[in-house]
Amino acid sequence: MSDFLQQFARDFAALNASNLDQLGELYTPDISFRDPLHKIDGLPALKDYFTQLYANVTDIRFEFHGYDQVAEGAGYLLWTLYCRHPRLNGGNTIRVEGCSHLLWRDKVYQHRDYFDAGALLYEHLPLMGSIIAWLKRRLA
């Protein structure tokens, strides 16, 4: 188990709208961040993204439950995201499982998240959610 990954997970989980200046302690200035919905390059753009994210949710937290360093400066984190957005899922908590692949030296320079974008967003939109639920039933 990697000490770096555990510390990163603790620090990342402690982020909130009032301490986003700490992103510079986690990431290099040229950070490359990707997830199924975004591609962000550079620390200023990442800070803008997190500022917007925290401004639009009423609650968000990450629970980390797996750490795997696969090589020097490379590893994975397994996590569960819990968030509430007033326009998604009736404002109720949404729970999404995911995985982050990180590359680092002294700080993370590449961060890629893998998760089901539908489970986070599309399934909880009023019209799209009904269509996706219908499609899932049909495919099952």
* Per-residue pLDDT at 137: 62
Beta strand ranges found along 16-119 (DSSP E): 27-35, 38-41, 59-71, 74-84, 94-104, 108-115
Asked if pLDDT for residue 124 goes beyond 50, the answer is no
Domain around 79: 3-139
pLDDT, tens digit, 9 for 90 and up, residues 13-22 = 999 999 999 9
Mean pLDDT of 5-24: 96
The tokens of 88 are what? Answer: 């998604």
β-bridge mates for residue 2, sequence order? none
The residue ranking higher by pLDDT, 69 or 96, is: 69
In this predicted structure, the answer to whether residue 84 has a pLDDT above a threshold of 90 is: no
- For the chain, the average pLDDT equals 85
Contacts of 79 (CB under 8 A, 6+ apart): 9, 62, 63, 64, 65, 66, 97, 98, 99, 100
Strands 74-84 and 94-104: antiparallel
Distances (CA, A) of 16 to 27, 50, 59, 88: 16, 9, 10, 20
| Terminal alpha carbon distance of the chain | 38
- The pTM (predicted TM-score) of the whole model is 0.82
Answer with the residue of higher pLDDT: 22 or 97: 22
The reported pLDDT for the residue numbered 83 is 84
CATH number for the domain spanning 104: value is 3.10.450.50
* Count: domains in the chain: 1
Which pLDDT score, from 0 to 100, does residue 22 have?
Answer: 97
Whether 26 has a pLDDT exceeding 90, the answer reads yes
